[in-house]
Amino acid sequence: DEEKLPRRILPLGPEVVSRMAAGEVVARPSAALKELLENAIDAGSTRISVSIIRGGIVRLEVVDNGCGIRVQDARLLCERHTTSKLRSVEDLAKVATCGFRGEALASISHISELCIVSRTHHEEHGWRASYRQGKLVAPGVQAAARTPGTTILVTDMFRSMPARYESFLRTHAEEYRQMLSIVSRYALYHSGRIAMCCRKRETCALRATEAETDDLHTFVHASHLDNIRAIFGQKVASSLGTLGCRVLHRVQHAVAGTVQEAEILLERAYFSLLGASQTKPLHIYFVNGRLVECRTLRRAIEQLYARYYLKGPHHPFCYLELKVPPEILDVNVHPAKKEVRFLDEQIAFSNIVQALEQQLISSGAQRSFAVQA
Ligand code: ADP
Ligand code: MG
Domain end among 191, 214, 232 = 232
CA 88 to ligand 2 center in whole angstroms: 17
Residue 260 has what DSSP assignment?
A: E
What is the domain range of residue 299?
Answer: 235-368
346: domain CATH number is 3.30.230.10
**Residue 1 within any structural domain of the chain:** no
110 shares a domain with 65: yes
Residue 96 CA: distances (Å) to CA of 61, 224, 255, 347, 372 = 25, 22, 19, 23, 43
Give the chain's radius of gyration (CA, Å): 23
Q: What digits encode the pLDDT tens for the residues 164-217? A: 999 999 999 999 999 999 999 999 999 999 999 999 998 888 777 777 889 999
Phi and psi at 289, nearest 5°, equal 80, 10
The H or E element that residue 197 is part of is strand 195-201
Cα distance between residue 373 and residue 370, in whole Å: 9
Q: Residues lining ligand 1, CB < 6 A?
A: 35, 39-40, 43, 64, 66-69, 77, 83-85, 99-106, 150
Q: Which residues contact residue 2 at a Cβ distance below 8 angstroms, ignoring those fewer than 6 apart?
A: none
Q: What digits encode the pLDDT tens for the residues 85-106? A: 988 888 877 888 888 888 999 9
Domain end among 173, 198, 232 = 232
Neighbours of ion ligand 2 (CB under 5 A): 39, 99, 104
In ligand 1, the atom with minimum distance to the C-alpha of 98 is 2
Residue 258 CA: distances (Å) to CA of 16, 79, 141, 255, 262 = 45, 40, 51, 5, 13
The C-alpha torsion from 338 through 171 and 16 to 105, rounded to 10°, is -60
| pTM for this model (two decimals) | 0.91
How many independent structural domains does the chain possess? 2
222 shares a domain with 163: yes
Q: What digits encode the pLDDT tens for the residues 231-273? A: 999 989 988 999 989 999 999 988 888 998 999 999 999 999 8
87 shares a domain with 76: yes
302 shares a domain with 223: no
Which of 148-152, 212-216, 291-295 is the most confident on average? 148-152
Mean pLDDT (the chain) is: 90
CA 39 to ligand 1 center in whole angstroms: 5
30: domain CATH number is 3.30.565.10
| Residue with CA nearest ligand 1 atom 15 | 84
